[in-house]
Structure 1
């Protein structure tokens, strides 16, 4: 988000307390591992939001790799995908001084200042999932090829639509989110290849499922020829499914979601979604730990790493189950 309201001092203190009391169990906002050793093998993970299956899956991958490599990993996530919530957690991290921080910045500009503070303090910064516009802060950025994911969504939706004529909508999260903005960009470029489909643009949902549902029902009223919706992340997809269900348009309007949460997978199975574009968050977490260790030990660091994306439909979902996201580790 682009909210720049000031963060109260008490919020920073609370973030320090929450980070210090983390425990194992697999949920984002909880952590595993013990105290850092004298040579500082302590890592921290700051996802974009708490309790979201994508970030839980990322945490699981990061925790497993850290343990295998002899490092500890503590995780603390904001309650909202918002720099105002994420900033005090970053501030709190400075008090604990981990060797490296894996972070999914919640705004590609607003999080630059807090993340630069980590770098200035000697903490290695690794971006996972999202990234800053300023490429000088992080040692490495690991993410899905989100623009390509948007193109894959456009091709998938066009295949579902066939030769029918009509309009399609993109539901985005918040402006300034690098991953979802790239998905919309890829979709917008690719959908022009299909002359029977009219792209009516994107609408922002503030990453809120209820808002997403409202946007869908409103668009159906103003665009009765709506053939499809591409929802750029988990929350917008679940909200879009609700909106189509409420309007009695499930299956009639093709819904392509991004991500593969347990709820989305269930909705794909029952026909609420027609396709999902799934990422590989566990590998993003694993690669993030590997790049952090390389940066700390003088190993070879790769500046940008792209992970797999796959289109999943009801017909092939059993074969693609390895891409389904976790709700716990």
Structure 2
């Protein structure tokens, strides 16, 4: 069935993703503007959780854009990462209200049937941050190029090592489900280091030992963190128990990086340790300044949400639908490498510069 009724470009999308854990349900009507209920443009933003500043920043960006455009905005969030039921209820509520569109960071493939039903009911659906597994579940995705985000920190890590042997700890998001953010960042990081990733659509199938672009490497293992500080700490402790000589730590996000660093600090193993991550929140940028995180790829959740609200408002008022970025199957909202240890030939910004555009 062709569900592209709105005239926007359709592209093949890839697996679903999630970033963090834990949140209470937040269903809050945020009416904006002075238009009548009859002609108001209603938009629902459904985030994974409000436990992570990334998603709170999305909400704040959406609220600002809604006020500017006169959009009636409703906010919703899962109780925790992976809470599909709460998101499904929020989708159904948006349909019942007669909203014009939905912005969502999906908590899993279980929400996709409800999204398809919302599209069939005439709502325009935009995925934020990561695409769903079923390309028919949304009209378009506004997101970070997560493979590129991983590549940026991987290239920098290879340069920072200066030819030294890399003993690598991979601290991912999940180990019981496949999500696009998890795979793309992990594989992008290894690819950026010059390591053959085998199948870029899966992680963990690369050779455990071999050569990266600057020398020899060993991957100690992949551990799940649930994108949380305590999960990052436990993952790092597990990997250190396997090999105490780890000198490179990749983490799915900055909360996991904080926990991982704590584990290495407790083990007295932070000398010459490289911690590379993704997020670019204000706390993460401060961690770069402090030397806890060596480099991070900064993404822009506020921009995602603002553009999403503006896109649905424009579609409702002018009929103009958003399009994907050239050469991509989603609209790219940008990424920058943040580090205070730059290398020639690798584009980056300092933590001071990143502070001016950070979130959270």
Report the TM range for the smaller structure's normalisation: 0.7 to 0.9
1:187 paired to 2:189: yes
- Structure 2: gaps of 5 or more residues: 1-14, 17-23, 196-211, 325-329, 342-349
> Which secondary structure does the structure 2 equivalent of 1:142 belong to?
strand
Question: Cα deviation per residue 1:233-252 (whole Å; 9 max; x = unaligned)?
Answer: 23322222222222222353
> Which secondary structure does the structure 2 equivalent of 1:299 belong to?
coil
Cα deviation for residue 85 of structure 1 reads 4.3
Structure 1 segment 115-264 matched on structure 2, within 5 A: 115-174=115-174, 175-191=177-193, 192=195, 193-194=212-213, 195-264=215-284
Q: Which residue of 2 aligns with 1:27?
A: none
Q: CA RMSD in A?
A: 2.5
Question: Cα deviation per residue 1:1-43 (whole Å; 9 max; x = unaligned)?
Answer: 99xxxxxxxxxxx96xx52xx26xxxxxxx5637972124111
Q: Which residue of 2 aligns with 1:302?
A: 323
- Provide TM-score, normalisation by structure 2: 0.76
Structure 1 segment 49-68 matched on structure 2, within 5 A: 49-68=49-68
1:320 paired to 2:354: yes
Structure (1 or 2) with the greater helix fraction: 1
* Separation in 2, partners of 1:36, 1:49: 31
> Which secondary structure does the structure 2 equivalent of 1:133 belong to?
coil
* Separation in 1, partners of 2:221, 2:336: 24
* Separation in 2, partners of 1:136, 1:222: 43
Question: Cα deviation per residue 1:180-230 (whole Å; 9 max; x = unaligned)?
Answer: 321112123232142323334432222332122011012112122311111
* Separation in 2, partners of 1:36, 1:153: 49
Cα deviation for residue 105 of structure 1 reads 0.8
* Separation in 2, partners of 1:214, 1:117: 40
> Which secondary structure does the structure 1 equivalent of 2:291 belong to?
coil
* Separation in 2, partners of 1:223, 1:269: 28
How many positions carry a matched residue from both structures?
303
Q: Which residue of 2 aligns with 1:293?
A: 313
> Which secondary structure does the structure 2 equivalent of 1:202 belong to?
strand
Q: Which residue of 1 aligns with 2:327?
A: none
Q: Which residue of 1 aligns with 2:100?
A: 99
- Provide TM-score, normalisation by structure 1: 0.83
Q: Say if 1:76 and 1:89, in contact at 8 Å, map to a contact too.
A: yes
